[in-house]
Amino acid sequence: MASNKSGGSLLPWLGIAALVILLDQLTKTLILQTFKLNDSLSITAWFNIVRWHNSGAAFSFLHDAAGWQRWLFVGLGTAAAAFIVWMLRGHAGQRLFAWALALILGGALGNVIDRLLHGYVVDFIQVHWRNAYFPSFNVADSAITVGAALLILDELRRVRHAR
């Protein structure tokens, strides 16, 4: 196993990212095989499984653009993935930080794969309360969100320890 100057191996973190990608792509494949576009299955009073195609970014940003956004988001996702791998190489021994990066890496690449295969991202998790619906999302989006929260937690811990 290759280690780096921070005392940790890159391989476990790439493995976590690969597991996120695998889970993300498996769930999206199940949705594509089971549901038609815009189908919805109510699971609880606040949770549905849906099939939604997002050609934009977070919260459907640029979803109505002429198609160029697909390649913009593929490029951004690929560049972010390369940067994250570079960061992991230098910080693999910092567990919380590396967990955060690995989750974000897996999520970013999961959505890049969708854009390359389909031209859109498959979303299927829908949370709502009364008549307020949160935008639909997927496993990759969830991993990115948890990773971002872990980055914030890691920075808060770092600032606290610096005092």
Residues with a catalytic annotation lie at 123, 141
Instruction: Give me Rg for the CA atoms of the chain.
Output: 17
Q: Are the C-beta atoms of residues 85 and 131 closer than 8 Å to each other?
A: no
- Per-residue DSSP letter, 134: P
**Rounded distance between C-alpha atoms, residue 103 and residue 123, angstroms:** 18
Beta-carbon count within 10 A of 63 CB: 13
CA dihedral defined by 117, 134, 105, 18, rounded to 10 degrees? -60
Q: Distances in Å between the alpha carbon of 8 and those of 90, 95, 158?
A: 9, 9, 18
- 102 phi and psi, to 5 degrees? -65, -40
